[in-house]
Structure 1
Amino acid sequence: MKLKDELPVDHRLAQVYRYGAGLCGVALLVFGCLGLANGLAFFGTKGEQVAGLSSNGLLSVVSIVFAAVLVAGAVIGGNTASTINIIVGALFVLSGFVNLGLLESGANFLAFRMANVLFSFVMGLIIATFGMYGRVSMKLPHDNPYWKARHPDRTGAAGLSPALPGPAASASHL
């Protein structure tokens, strides 16, 4: 059994995954293109200001690569976009922690400053939230496709959850 066979396809949720990936991808693409257009030093550790953040040529290229991944996820859509959003969001948060430790050091090859670290955390959480929307929760509604996929024994033939027994019905079983 493959994971993709376990994940349901739901068009309403796919729009959230698709738009989230697309919007965040376009924002990263603009940032990366502005950095390359400024002709920044590729490995400069000091960086120059681009759209309020410190950047160098390497960070611009990395931003464009991640933008391409997110836009590809938006084009593909569905569960693939959701999974890409979750993974990229987690990588952004991880990048924030790693680059926080590299601030003011010679190993700061992406020219990060504190604003970049905060941006990485916030953008990572936004992207991951777009990916997890309607997919990860303790209390998914019974008409949610992920709840249905996890509880096939509790869904009827029409795909709707049967009525759960109320207090009166459960008291009669005593």
Structure 2
Amino acid sequence: MATLSAKPRPRPRMKLDEHLPVDHRLSRTYRLSAALMGLFLLAFGILGLVHRIGFFDTGADTALGLNTNGALSVLSLVVGTVLVAAAVLGGNIASTVNMVLGLAFLVAGFTFLFALDSRFNFLNFRMQNVLFSFGVGLLLMTGGMYGRVSGNLPHDNPYWRSRHPH
């Protein structure tokens, strides 16, 4: 009895950063989502620092409608700077940074949702901060994945071509 011993061909692996051309039209989407969120976070961080709030203060101090303290203001400045830098660089870098930071915002939202009204709420989160974190996370992830993940990618999309090499 003859058996077929033909191995299935391995599927070509796609790396997210290498298949999309840097000058692709979707780069504008990646840049815009990173720039808008980055500028908002920079403004939030600056306003939080200008008010000279204690670094780990858990009072009712707000900036742009969100509770804050010195640590959250500094963290917002760092993340905002990373997003603006990604927007300036554009292309695949902006897309990847959007996806990674979007996931980080979602994780932070869930983490501080469980830490509300506890001693572990060192960033002075309140419910509006949690909802903001969820919203920003979803927007950043959507902006970063736009054109990369879909069931209806056009056939000229580099990600579609990578999945269908023949």
Partner of 1:171: none
Out of 119, 123, 129, which is 2:132 matched to?
119
SS at match of 2:67: strand
Letter in 2 for 1:134: G
Choose the corresponding residue for 2:81, options 53, 57, 68.
Answer: 68
* CA contact 1:45–1:106 (8 Å) conserved in 2: no
Structure 1 residue identity aligned to 2:91: G
Q: 1:97 aligns to what? A: 110
Partner SS, residue 3 of structure 1: coil
Answering whether residue 40 of structure 2 is matched by residue 37 of structure 1, we say no
Q: Which moved more, 1:26-35 or 1:135-144?
A: 135-144
Number of residues paired by the alignment? 153
Which residue is 1:57 aligned to?
A: 70
Question: Is contact 2:14–2:162 with CA below 8 Å preserved after alignment?
Answer: no
Query: Quick one: structure 1 residues 4 and 103, their matched pair in 2 at CA, closer, same or farther if it must change by over 3 Å?
Result: closer
The percentage of aligned residue pairs carrying the same residue is 54
Unaligned runs of 5+ in 2: 1-12
Matched, 1:8 2:31: no
Alpha-carbon contact 1:8-1:149 (below 8 Å) kept: no
Can you list the C-alpha shifts for 1:112-144, whole angstroms capped at 9, x where unaligned? Answer: 000000000001101111100111112212122
Distance, in Å, in 2 between the alignment partners of 1:98 and 1:32 is 20
Matched, 1:18 2:31: yes
Question: In structure 2, what is the equivalent of residue 48 of structure 1?
Answer: 61
Normalised TM-score (structure 2): 0.86
Stretches of 4+ aligned residues off by more than 6 angstroms: none
The structure where helix makes up a greater share of residues is: 1
Aligned equivalents of 2:91 and 2:165: distance in 1? 21
With structure 1 as the length reference, what TM-score do the two structures score? 0.83
Query: Paired residue for 1:81, among 82, 89, 94?
Result: 94
Instruction: Please give the root-mean-square deviation of Cα atoms over the aligned residues, in Å.
Output: 1.6
Higher relative contact order (CA 8 A, sep 6+): 2
Aligned counterpart, 2:8: none
User: Which segment drifts farther, 138-147 or 51-60?
Assistant: 138-147
Aligned residue for 1:22, secondary structure, equals helix
Query: 1:82 and 1:138 mapped to 2: Cα distance?
Result: 19
